[in-house]
Amino acid sequence: MLNPLAAIFKPRRAARLVDELGREGLLPVAAIREAITHWDEVAPRLLEVLEDYVREPQRIEEMPCPILLIAHLFAQQRDARACRPLLALVCLPGDAAEMALGDAVTETLGRVMASVFDGDPEPLERAILDAQVDEYVRAQLFGTLAFLTGEDRIPRPRTRFFLERCYRQLVESGDEGNDMPWVGWLRAVSYLGLAEYADLARAAFRDGRIDDFLTNEREFEAALGDATEAWRRGVAPQEESCGYFGDVIAEFSRWACFTEEGPRERERAERAQSGLLPEWYPWAAQALLADLDSGQDGEAGEDLRGVVDPITPHLNPMRHVGRNDPCPCGSGRKYKKCCLKS
């Protein structure tokens, strides 16, 4: 017999957990664990939030829970209900995907999409082919496609035909500066050990379609050889963007935005944006301090000693530069089309 109180308390628990997942600060470990335990209750509400964002991305500040967490929770649970909404999200115009997913666009998106794949490759292929989709998103989705093909969840003949189609589109588009789809295409070819497309890849390198600081022909040939040998031995190659997503807590415990260092990082970013610190501060502070201590900076450097604080070195020296901000190198290009690629 059904407990009549369940109809009252289950929605309340879902609402409470969504609220706790959305609180600012450190990673909400307890709420994540409880949400996983009561996934059948919480998932429908999280899916509603995700779909609300897809409909009205301008309301991101009103979302009760970060889309970033929602996407990765569905990925951990291998819940395919999030597949279509997430694909719709990454195809939104402008910076909507980046605003919702942040660094996941370049770090985990490929594995997230593999984890929530619903069995239909057509929407995934459409997103890869869409030149209006963020180039980093497209590169990650190539990894999703390659991995799922290696897992026999997408037929290899279909993927081979699709990669030929992608090659033709990339060649014909001639979109200067959008190198990441090329990188994604190369990784898919090498991951799957498709030696029959090696000549197409060599032609792309020869024609200068891929910046050599992203990858080069030697690296491609090595990856292709390693993958071919791996498949011969009956194991999948090792590629960072190819795989299923694992554990939300284990992954995000390493992300600065969910650590005690996060508020300090945000404070530095605000100081930089206000003009109190230059944009390149996190990367240059340690070098400047070293110069000050050695006396190489002179009086001008001494004026900055009160601004620069000797804090633990940063793993990512450019973490405060947005992907669509002007590149700090002074090239005049957007960061994502310049030094981010290196």
What's the chain's average pLDDT? Answer: 82
Q: How confident is the model at residue 310 (pLDDT cuts 50, 70, 90)?
A: very low
221 or 1: which leads in pLDDT = 221
Query: pTM of whole model > 0.95?
Result: no
Return d(Cα 257, Cα 261) in angstroms, integer.
Answer: 8
Residue 26 corresponds to which tokens in the numbers above? 């450190």
* % of residues, the chain, pLDDT over 70: 73
Would you state the pLDDT for residue 7?
47
pLDDT in tens, 153-168: 999 999 999 999 999 9
Would you state the pLDDT for residue 257?
78
The alpha carbon of residue 99 and the mean position of all alpha carbons in its chain are separated, in whole angstroms, by 11
Q: Is the pLDDT of residue 107 over 80?
A: yes
CA atoms within 13 A on the CB side of 52: 16
Would you state the pLDDT for residue 212?
82
Residue 25 corresponds to which tokens in the numbers above? 């600060």
Sign of CA dihedral 193, 196, 202, 208: negative
Would you state the pLDDT for residue 313?
44
Q: Is the pLDDT of residue 23 over 80?
A: yes
Return d(Cα 193, Cα 228) in angstroms, integer.
Answer: 5
pLDDT in tens, 54-79: 999 999 988 999 999 999 999 999 99
What letter would DSSP give residue 47?
H
Q: Which residues pair with 334 in a beta bridge?
A: 326
Q: Is the pLDDT of residue 85 over 90?
A: yes
8 Å CB contact between 279 and 328:
yes
pLDDT in tens, 193-214: 999 999 999 999 998 888 888 8
Return the amino acid letter for 43: A
Would you state the pLDDT for residue 252?
92
Return d(Cα 133, Cα 93) in angstroms, integer.
Answer: 7
Q: Is the pLDDT of residue 2 over 50?
A: no
- Quickly tell me which residue has 């050695």 as its tokens: 294
283 or 118: which leads in pLDDT = 118
